[in-house]
Structure 1
Amino acid sequence: MRRIIIRVSTVAALTALMGMGAVGLGAGPVQAAGNKPLPVPGVPETLASGLLSPLSLTLGSSQSVYFTQNFAGSLDKLDAKGAVSTVYQASVPGHEVGAVSSRFGRTYFAENAGAGEDPAPNIGIIKSITSAGKVRSIADVAQYEATHNPDASVTYGFRDLDAACLQQIPDTLPGSYTGVTDSHPYATEPGLFEIYVADAGGNDIVAVNQFTGRVRTVAVLPPSITHVTAALAASFGLPDCAAGHDYYFEPVPTDIRWGRDGWLYVSTLPGGPEGAALGARGSVYKVSPWFSTVRLVASGLVSPTGLAVSRSGDIYVAELFGGQISVIPRGTSTAQPFLAVPLPADVAIRGGTLYATVNALPGDGTPPAGQIIKVPLNTGDENYPSMNQYDD
């Protein structure tokens, strides 16, 4: 219930539930702030296919794309000619590689193991690699989590049930607990001196000084709150005494990107079951990189696992199990459908083009079918100054 770790064995059922096939377009345009229309996206073009769990991507120089195949433990590069090459392989077989980002000719990523698998050793090493292939380990945010546990004082589960009622809560659902020690760096975003990390296990944003390796807490994200009705209690096997109370699920940050306003934009899963029973509970927040301030931007998303902010300030969100890429137009707080695609995991923007990983999770017994696609946005972003050194 608590972690971003996605088990391959569950994916086939989720894919069947979605009932989606090849890449398709959204139904029509949406309206941005001030009634400015966002046009229907252009025709998607597939750049790479046959990928195993491409859960993270970033844009490099010379029209290149870096992406991770998390379950395969590899960081790969797609060049402008369409050739794919592996630039880093996990140092230990079975380790996950993910959380890729780029800045100033250097690519950052995370090598993970043991998240949510106590007592297995938990590592979350933030690394960098140069264009020449030189790899450097910068810091282990799992070690920081083990010694600091930033959400240790946060109470999850029920906060106001009496002891008698808590004893009736099924073992499958933690009745009440405080933040535990766990780390799974799932996304990175470099600044001038620090690398900002969305830690899906720690429920927080931390910053790593890329020169000294010092780690600090930027912000602990707010819990995802679900009001337990009588019907909901019955459907989940909860006692009658739980009805009418709120359940505080852990937040699970999945991506982090700079916005035009100097804030960090973060997508979060709700930390509980993804499905119709509890509704669309994923969110996007904006986080001050220095003052621990967290503000809600939009909610009502289905498993948001990746986001990108366009030059004009629109936010594009990959809703993994929602089967679509949505857009939150600048100045609004409501996500609207933009592009229907199967199992989108991450998005990135270069100028007026959106890049995305789709079909990102394999089904049981099926060969890898992950893809990288690009889609013209045609939103007028070419009229805005570049936010990305690689907008070429």
Structure 2
Amino acid sequence: MRSSRALVAGVLAGGLVLATPMMASAGVGGKPDPKVLSDQMVAPFNLALSAPDIYVADGFIGLVGTLQPDGSLAPVAVDQPGASGVATSGGTLAFTTTVSDEVTGENTASGLNIWGPGGSKISADTHAYETAHNPDSVNHYGVDKPSQCVIDSFTAVGFPYDYTGQIDSHAYSVAAYGSGWVVADAGANALWSIDSSGAISTLAVLPPQPLTVTPELAAAVGLPSPQCFAGGVTYSFEPVPTDVEVGSDGALYITTLPGGPESPVLGARGALWKYTPSNGKLVKIAGGFLGATNLALGLKGEIYVAEYFAGKISLVKKNGQKSDYLPLQNVIALETDADGALWAGTTITLDPSQPAAPGTIVKVKDGKPGKALGLH
């Protein structure tokens, strides 16, 4: 199953946008006091905060730009299909792009663009690397040894029931990592390490995400013959990594948006992970997110998670305790700057049954005094 297509086509065009307050009230007693700096966005999938600039990757209009005082984007890279991830390091800009077939939905090209000082431009072709290596082919998805009744039920609705990782690259988010970059690939279900020359290697493969399908759940998602699932049948979904950030401890923090239907009927299945490259250890920090599309690291070990389908930002403390932080309709991107200020990007509302809202860039909370990031 091509898991990454649900991220853009499904997450945005699929139409599940919950009716939540557009913004929390003004900050009182240490609560967030969000300020809308732009309502001219469409789909700001990721932000990069490099004082004094605020970089935005707006994927629906294929633009990477910097936010201006009037709320517009000054173009930095135009005609960039599926632009989603953006990061900066030492005067170098990196951003991801993905080309998808409009008819089949297949991703036909994807990669990381590395634009350095002096006009240098390097392209790292993650689609070609995935085609050659397909690291998540080691993962088994679907049902292990399904009964004929289960096979028939899934086949009737065109849903895969037993397969290993397929070739699919959707380079979605990027972060500066050492002297190079780390990319979360939502199609390959992997993290890539990409050096300054554009050479790619596999850093980690995310594990399948199991869910017990009961007769009640089968009926709720429209599977025929729900009695086939009596006693519960385990289905392993693809993990779909959506964001990666590098912590001060050298660990990588990752959000995942498990494949398959992302509606609340299957429950809040998104997760937050910590991966330690030095020993290859992957630990699940927290789960229960409804559409975990992005994360941001705070200065005191706290982690913010964007829950797109829940219309809110959640806060995860060092001990893994999860709590609501701020209602924010259509939130899809989060980032903290060097001073600890929290920023967010929200998409336009595409579901006509839900309250209309523009795409925005929001400064959610201020950070410590320092070299302020702002518009100039």
Does TM, scored on the shorter chain, surpass 0.5?
yes
AA aligned to 1:216 is S
> 2:328 is matched with which residue?
341
Residue by residue over 1:210-245, the C-alpha shift from the partner in whole angstroms, topping out at 9 and shown as x without a partner, is 22x221111111111111112112323243233312
Over 3 Å counting, the alpha-carbon distance change for 1:336 and 1:217 in structure 2 is same
Query: Secondary structure of the equivalent of 2:266?
Result: coil
Over 3 Å counting, the alpha-carbon distance change for 1:368 and 1:54 in structure 2 is farther
Query: Secondary structure of the equivalent of 1:98?
Result: coil
AA aligned to 2:259 is G
Structure 2: any 5+ residue segments left out of the alignment? none
Query: Secondary structure of the equivalent of 1:7?
Result: helix
Instruction: Pick one of 39, 62, 65 that aligns with 1:73.
Output: 62
Is 1:40 aligned to 2:11, yes or no? Answer: no
Would the aligned equivalents of 1:253 and 1:268 in 2 still touch at CA under 8 Å? yes
TM superposition shift of 1:76: 1.0
Stretch of structure 1 that moved more, 297-306 or 191-200? 191-200
> 2:45 is matched with which residue?
55
> 1:267 is matched with which residue?
255
Would the aligned equivalents of 1:58 and 1:102 in 2 still touch at CA under 8 Å? yes
TM superposition shift of 1:265: 0.2
TM superposition shift of 1:193: 2.3
Over 3 Å counting, the alpha-carbon distance change for 1:238 and 1:293 in structure 2 is farther
Distance 1:188 1:168 in 2: 38
> 1:33 is matched with which residue?
none
Percent identity, aligned pairs only, is 29
Is 1:22 aligned to 2:8, yes or no? Answer: no
Over 3 Å counting, the alpha-carbon distance change for 1:13 and 1:192 in structure 2 is closer
Over 3 Å counting, the alpha-carbon distance change for 1:375 and 1:339 in structure 2 is same
Would the aligned equivalents of 1:156 and 1:249 in 2 still touch at CA under 8 Å? yes
Distance 1:235 1:361 in 2: 25
1:339-378 equivalence runs, <5 A: 339-350=326-337, 351-363=339-351, 369-376=358-365
Give the TM-score normalised by the residue count of structure 1.
0.84
> 2:163 is matched with which residue?
177
Is 1:312 aligned to 2:300, yes or no? Answer: yes
Residue by residue over 1:316-336, the C-alpha shift from the partner in whole angstroms, topping out at 9 and shown as x without a partner, is 011111110111012x22321
Alpha-carbon RMSD across the aligned residues, in angstroms, is 3.0
AA aligned to 2:87 is S
AA aligned to 1:337 is D
AA aligned to 2:65 is D
Distance 2:193 2:103 in 1: 24
Distance 1:130 1:318 in 2: 30
Matched residues, number: 366
Would the aligned equivalents of 1:116 and 1:201 in 2 still touch at CA under 8 Å? no
> 2:91 is matched with which residue?
105
Distance 2:257 2:132 in 1: 25
Over 3 Å counting, the alpha-carbon distance change for 1:119 and 1:267 in structure 2 is closer
TM superposition shift of 1:304: 0.8
Stretch of structure 1 that moved more, 106-115 or 78-87? 78-87
Query: Secondary structure of the equivalent of 1:14?
Result: coil
Would the aligned equivalents of 1:51 and 1:368 in 2 still touch at CA under 8 Å? no
Over 3 Å counting, the alpha-carbon distance change for 1:260 and 1:233 in structure 2 is same
Residue by residue over 1:317-371, the C-alpha shift from the partner in whole angstroms, topping out at 9 and shown as x without a partner, is 11111110111012x2232100111111111112141110023554469998211
Distance 2:147 2:170 in 1: 33
TM superposition shift of 1:110: 0.9
Would the aligned equivalents of 2:305 and 2:334 in 1 still touch at CA under 8 Å? yes
TM superposition shift of 1:173: 1.8
Would the aligned equivalents of 2:45 and 2:345 in 1 still touch at CA under 8 Å? yes
AA aligned to 1:146 is T
Distance 1:53 1:249 in 2: 26
Residue by residue over 1:143-192, the C-alpha shift from the partner in whole angstroms, topping out at 9 and shown as x without a partner, is 11001000112110111323454234334321111111000011001112
Query: Secondary structure of the equivalent of 1:71?
Result: coil
Stretch of structure 1 that moved more, 169-178 or 213-222? 169-178
1:1-392 equivalence runs, <5 A: 2-3=3-4, 4-7=6-9, 11=13, 13-15=15-17, 18-25=18-25, 39-41=30-32, 43-62=33-52, 64-79=53-68, 84-90=73-79, 95-114=81-100, 122-130=108-116, 134=119, 136-163=121-148, 165-169=150-154, 170-211=156-197, 213-236=198-221, 237-239=223-225, 240-243=227-230, 244-330=232-318, 332-350=319-337, 351-363=339-351, 369-376=358-365
